[in-house]
Amino acid sequence: MSRRAPTLGVFDSGIGGLTVVRHLRRLLPAWRIVYFGDTARVPYGTKSEATVRRFAGEAARFLTQFDVGHLVVACNTVSAVALRSLTREFHGLPIDGVIEPGAEAAVKATRSGRIGVIGTRATVASRAYEHAITEAARHAAAPRRAAGRRHAAVERLAGAGARVYAHACPLLVPLAEEGMANSKAAREVLREYLEPLRRRRIDTLILGCTHYPPFKASIRSVLGPRVTLIDSGEATARRLARTLRRNGAQRPRGRGSLRCYVSDIPRQFEAIGRRFLGHRLGRVWLVPQDDLPWFERRPIRGRE
């Protein structure tokens, strides 16, 4: 008798989280995945922290009705500003963000200790990657010190002289959704965005937004092949797969499945989703947004 495959809940502000789902389906083929993309309110990266926390809580509450055994926040902005509040609210439900795995992968990859990060304005402003990289470097340096060994790049990142350079790239999201990741326009925009990081002589770049993996070829054409690109979504999927293997949850028999829900324009999600997922999505289900009675709330007076 085969064991029933568990369910994994994944959400993002829009369609970019499908790049994470793509890796999850490859690494955890027997899992059922339920995905929610908040396409009615994308992007999150330009909104306040309070708003992002509220939206994230609503997305997570929607997914919990599917009896998910694990929740993946496939959004760097939410991971940066709302992961702690989600962990408190959904105590007992394992929740993974994309920032810590991306930081750990970058610390392992760097040779010089010069790491660049590109992401949304909210992710960059939070300095979440800087903090996560410093913490990951400390964990990596501790056993080396105990063994009497040193790694200069990791030591620098673990200390006060950590060299992490972050830059916001807001135009990349619309370019990705328009299918223009490998266009001349994208390369021109990337040259402008990446020039400050190139001048810093980074040897590792974290793609700190799930919309950014389609730009890998264009980024390499700007920075050159010697800069290692870290896909935070792929790093998250790999770490989750390792965790589930250790817990014995990776061996259900049978084929997994993917069911996608969005808060607006499902047909557009279906059309664009193939570029992010690598194959057809099938039917995408619409979740009406009539559960947000903003007009019934008392207005809050702003500052004069």
**Positive or negative torsion for Cα 179, 182, 187, 193:** positive
Task: Give, for 204, the enclosing helix (H) or strand (E).
Answer: strand 204-208
Q: What count of residues does the chain have?
A: 304
Instruction: State the catalytic residue, choosing from 68, 75, 202, 223.
Output: 75
Residue listed under structure tokens 């009497």: 148
The answer to whether residues 22 and 277 touch, using CB atoms and an 8 Å cutoff, is yes
Q: What is the dihedral of CA 105, 33, 58, 275, to 10 degrees?
A: 70
Q: Single out the residue of 112, 102, 108, 105 nearest to residue 202, CA to CA.
A: 112
Rg (CA), the chain: 20
Peptide bond into 43 cis (omega under 30): yes
The answer to whether residues 129 and 166 touch, using CB atoms and an 8 Å cutoff, is yes
User: Strand order of the sheet with strand 95-96?
Assistant: 95-96, 70-73, 7-12, 32-37, 257-262, 284-286
Instruction: State the catalytic residue, choosing from 209, 219, 227, 281.
Output: 209
Q: Does the annotation count 260 as an active-site position?
A: no
- Chain-centre distance of CA 291, in angstroms? 26
**Positive or negative torsion for Cα 235, 237, 240, 242:** negative
Active-site residue set: 75, 209
